[in-house]
A and B are shown apart, each in its own frame.
Chain A
Amino acid sequence: MAALLSILAAFILYPLARVLYVAFAGEGGPTLSHLFAFFRRPLFREALYNSLLAGFLAVVFGSLIGLPLAYFTVKYDFKGKIVLQTLGVLPLVIPPFVGAVAFQLILGRSGMVNLLLLQYLGTTVPFMEGLPGVVLVQTLHYFPFIMLNAAASLTNIDPSLEEMAQNLGSYGFRLFRKVTLPLMMPGYIAGALLVFIRVIDDLGTPLMLNYTKLLAPQAYLRITTVGIDDVDGYVVCVILVILSLVSLWIARKYLSLSEYATVQRGASGSSISKKIGGLKLFIVLGISILILGISLLPHLGIALLSFSKVWSFSMLPTAYTWGNYDEILFRTPHFVKNTLLYSLLAASIDVLLGAIIAFLLIRGRVFGRNLLDAITTMPLAIPGVVLAVGYLRVFYGWNFPGIGKPLTATWFILVIAYSMRRLPYTVRACYAAMQQIHISLEEAALNLGASRRRTFLKITLPLMFGGLIAGGLISFVTSSVELSSTIMLVPKMEFGPLSYGIYIYMQSAIGRGPGAALGVVAIGLVAVGTYLIHRIFGGRTGSAFRV
């Protein structure tokens, strides 16, 4: 327990505390002067405003896309529904910064669409310039969070609640507005806030699109260009943490409200989806295909780019090649190798810590249980940039005992960052798995003469195995495409993982092909991982993507 707490303290609490300390430390004690200075700088004010706006717009547009899809797939029964549900989750499979590159190809200044426009209308539309580009990419990447949460909420609504309203004379849109919508609200708001947090914390997309007037890129730029002692960078970090904390707190509040809508579930076995046909089916399918078609474009774009030799100022690549894969698999294989190594290590650490923490939280009556719970949830509210800044602050230039050099000079700092950032998900997966094991199953083993250790090994562990694997997979998948803390923490080019490789390659025109090939590998990793998680979690996949 003590060892566990000290690990968590060293790699979660202390770095965060140091960030706070720098931001609030004055000459002679704590001060708010740095904070005030932040608000006096027009650039920072603009960055804050832009971040909030981006988050807000991504939520609005994400809702416009996600809510109808959620409603269609839950409430209507039609052919191709399964396809729709599956395709709806696919945007999550492509890391947003990879999506950003793909959208550049399609909608960018010299992308497919603008070339067409130029050819036929003699004009171009700056889809991808500045903030609109960032919002576009993030909306199309994150709307599944809204869709999944809203759909889960809708599914959980007891059908008799709606039937009762019909019985009393309500129907159609009135029924939706007065009964269905209020009941699905908590789940929807939780999903929306999750999108909001992710958008504000996202560093990769703005960097890829070369738009830096946002909070996360500002923090990154201050620390990497001005220097590790620049106070402004830390103040930006504090603002990021506050925004995350507030959103997370509201989301939690609403989610706890959602439970009451499902408390009184009865044995009503009626199906809530109704068959549709004719015009209605046509409209539903039309809208769905349009939305999904657009959001799946980047997958296509990246795949094309990864096989292209020359693709510039033309609709489609003018020459194809295997060379890009050759490059990333044989000439610079370390990106893929590193990713597999780091993610696997991070996932193993997470599973180990997750299982122990879950066990302590459920069965333990140890002192400090609430503290443990609080600390393990904390990484959810710490943006990757902030954690990375904290690590740099704490470990940079300080020879770590036993290694003889600073921790930030080794690749292991990346593994630590990944494992700490994903720990809440693994703990939750293990917790859920263990919660389903009734204590009597363990007591029965104890009663038959098995020791506590044997009971844990023979009964508890096998029963929670599925949860452990799922937790590990979530950690693995998300770590393998993690960019925001990676960019800041990679000590040397050779230690860089896949996401870093994509970032570096994409800086130059020649590198775009190999970068895209790496992107395809990333998509493949995430797709396989997500599929496996779905297999293990079954219909409860949504629970892996919750706050």
Chain B
Amino acid sequence: MEERGGRFLLKAAEVHLEKVSKCFGEVWAVRNVSLHIRQGEFYTFLGPSGCGKTTLLRIIAGFVEPDGGEVFLDKEAVTRVPPWKRDVGMVFQNYALWPHMAVFDNVAFGLREREVPKSEIKARVLDALKKVNLEGLEARRPSELSGGQQQRVALARTLVIEPRVLLLDEPLSNLDAKLRLQMRNELVKLQKDLGITTIYVTHDQEEALTLSNRIAVMNQGSVIQVGSPREIYGQPQDPFVAEFVGTSNFFPGEVVEAIPERLLVKTQEGTIEVAIPENFWRGRVGEPVLLSVRPEAIQLRLPQEEDHNKGNRFLGTVKTSAFQGPLVLYEVELKRGTNIKVISPNPKGGEVFRVGEEIAVLFETQEVTIIPAGSGV
């Protein structure tokens, strides 16, 4: 470790996964996953429980040996290297602090295993505890700490050995909402300061979107889409991604006209116009597609109100409305029976559409995302 301008630069590694698969009995926990995680990147595996994200993390840590495929750390194949020789630091969801050791001994454990000289151990342990704002608690037992403090000890214990990669398994899930937010910010700062390659596992899309440089969305053992938070949210390539990250409205249809920068799609509710980047659309007219529109991209108007925006406009009826303070959530049934979700910012006057009210639904052409066919809902 060298110190440069107050920043600690760890020997951060890049991680390559090559066609990694793992089967538990009949079930594919991880199926043919290939990923490239760059040096110093904050990378998140996002998915529902049981999607294989934790198994993938445990494969990288070496606790699970894949049935097929290879794991590389900086070009070096480590697939069959035991966990204790990988130098890949993991923070467990339940922290896994050893109850029979004091905080100091917990943090010093990895250094002692590496036979670091005594004097250096002390300095490094204290330094690690300082980094996570836990000075003065060295003599405590884990059972005498709060959940947030335990979390910090677990983090310090892993960081003190200066691992090449940091693996975090749902580290915030056991904290209460307020503490979670605070730890989230500290984690981002710590990760940036250390420049360490970090892989983060979570089922919480909001956490994933705020923390990550890039996200891999997983479902049923496979990686569905990889991209920056903006790409994942803005251009979901799969209905699962659109529905899991945020929520969305889907319109199945068929392309009737394709001209540069514009696509007309015939759906059950009528023709929807979609703005597309140049050369984006490679399909043919007549091809089936799925359109996705985010609830917050939809505006509601009174039907008689004139609207000069050239966008998509449909008529419908309010089925339910739920007032949530800053937002109002609606369910609207369109004329031909499609149910859509709409999120409106709460207007100052507190004007809310009533259930049963006739309304007009508007969304602009660039708010519609095309999900390639074949991935159907």
Contact = CB atoms under 8 A, between A and B. Distances in A.
Contacts of A266: 92-94, 96
Interface in B100-136: 100, 109-110, 113-114
Nearest to A186: B100
Interface string A157-177: 010110111111111001000
B93 A174 contact: no
Contact of B96 (A163, A170, A171, A263): A163
Interface range for A: 20 to 34
Nearest to A167: B90
Contact of B110 (A168, A182, A263, A264): A168
A168 B62 CA distance: 12
A113 to B, nearest CB: 44
B143 A166 contact: no
B96 A164 contact: yes
A166 B82 contact: yes
B88 to A, nearest CB: 7
Nearest to B170: A267
B97 A169 contact: no
Contacts of A263: 99, 143
Looking at A166, A170, A174, A179, the one whose CB has the most chain B CB atoms below 10 A away is: A166
Contacts of B158: 167-168
B94 A264 contact: yes
B94 A167 contact: no
B84 A164 contact: no
A261 B99 contact: yes
Nearest to B174: A266
A157 to B, nearest CB: 10
B83 A166 contact: yes
A423 interface: no
B226 interface: no
B95 A264 contact: yes
A261 B92 contact: no
Given A167-B83, A167-B90, A270-B63, A161 B96 contact: yes
A170 B84 contact: yes
A352 B95 CA distance: 45
A154 to B, nearest CB: 15
B84 A169 contact: yes
A382 B62 CA distance: 52
B114 A158 contact: no
A168 B83 CA distance: 8
Contacts of A165: 98, 109
A508 B297 CA distance: 98
A163 B63 contact: yes
Contacts of A182: 98, 100
A328 B95 CA distance: 62
B89 interface: yes
Contacts of A178: 109
A268 B93 contact: yes
Nearest to B89: A167
30 contacts: A158-B96, A160-B94, A161-B96, A161-B98, A163-B63, A163-B83, A163-B96, A164-B90, A165-B98, A167-B61, A167-B90, A168-B89, A168-B110, A168-B158, A169-B84, A169-B87, A169-B113, A169-B114, A169-B161, A171-B82, A174-B113, A178-B109, A182-B98, A183-B98, A183-B99, A264-B94, A264-B99, A266-B96, A267-B93, A270-B58
Given A165-B109, A264-B142, 17 more contacts: A161-B96, A163-B61, A163-B96, A164-B92, A164-B98, A164-B157, A166-B82, A167-B84, A168-B157, A170-B113, A178-B109, A263-B99, A263-B143, A264-B95, A268-B93, A268-B94, A270-B58
